[in-house]
Structure 1
Amino acid sequence: MTTPAPLRPGVQLAAAEGSTRVVVVRAPAENAQELTCGGAPMIPAPAGRPEPSAGDAVTVLGKRYVDADDTVEVLCTSSGPGELGYGGIPMTLKAAKPLPASD
């Protein structure tokens, strides 16, 4: 069994089962909790491309996900099944910043 990877910006993680992959954009310096996909801890991403998973993708390629406290942010680099979670709480899609109005 593979141990969960530490959370640091730039770390690439993969779902233990399925094709979901993320890169950590922001993480707390201390007391980081476990990042999960489909309820299973995410592991360091192996080299190469993941095999596409059958079924509907829950994580969306190119989207950013944040935890409830906005302390952890990840970018999805390969979509797949399984909901992302941090510390046992589901992560949500990060809202896009509105562009400034031009007159």
Structure 2
Amino acid sequence: MKTGTRALSTVCDTEVMIIRAAEVELFCGGAPMVTARDGQAGAPEAGLDGGTLLGKRYTHAPSGLEVLCVKPGAGTLSVNGEPLTEVAAKQLPSSD
């Protein structure tokens, strides 16, 4: 996957944009993500159905992969069976 690529889930409505690419295969709900969807094929696997949130960034620290959710869905994003973690918002300095 290249930076800027849109990846689509085949088991839910989740769509993500690749922010920082890595040489890994991205999964959603236990199924590989694709660049063109022909329709949904089933539902997310149990344990991988935590969902994604619109506008949130998700990362896989070991590989450096970072994605941005552009359409939420029911599946959990993962790499090698390891769920991606949500990136916390950066704290801005106070302006007094």
Q: What is the TM-score with the length of structure 2 in the denominator? A: 0.79
Question: 1:36 maps to which residue?
Answer: 27
**1:74 counterpart (54, 67, 73):** 67
SS at match of 2:61: coil
- Paired position in structure 2 for 1:91: 84
User: What's the counterpart of residue 6 of structure 2?
Assistant: 12
Distance 1:22 1:42, change over 3 A: same
SS in 2 for 1:44: coil
RMSD, matched Cα: 2.3
Displacement, 1:57? 6.9
The runs of at least 4 consecutive aligned structure 1 residues that moved more than 6 Å come to: none
Q: What is the letter of the counterpart of residue 75 of structure 1?
A: L
Change (3 A) 1:60 1:45: farther
Give the Cα–Cα distance (whole angstroms) in 1 for the partners of residues 19 and 34 of structure 2: 16
**Identity across matched positions, percent:** 45
Question: Separation in 2 of the partners of 1:96 and 1:69?
Answer: 20
- Structure 2's unaligned 5+ residue stretches are 41-48
TM-superposed deviation, 1:87: 2.6
Mapped to 2, the partners of 1:62 and 1:96 lie a distance apart of 11
Q: TM-score scaled by structure 1?
A: 0.74
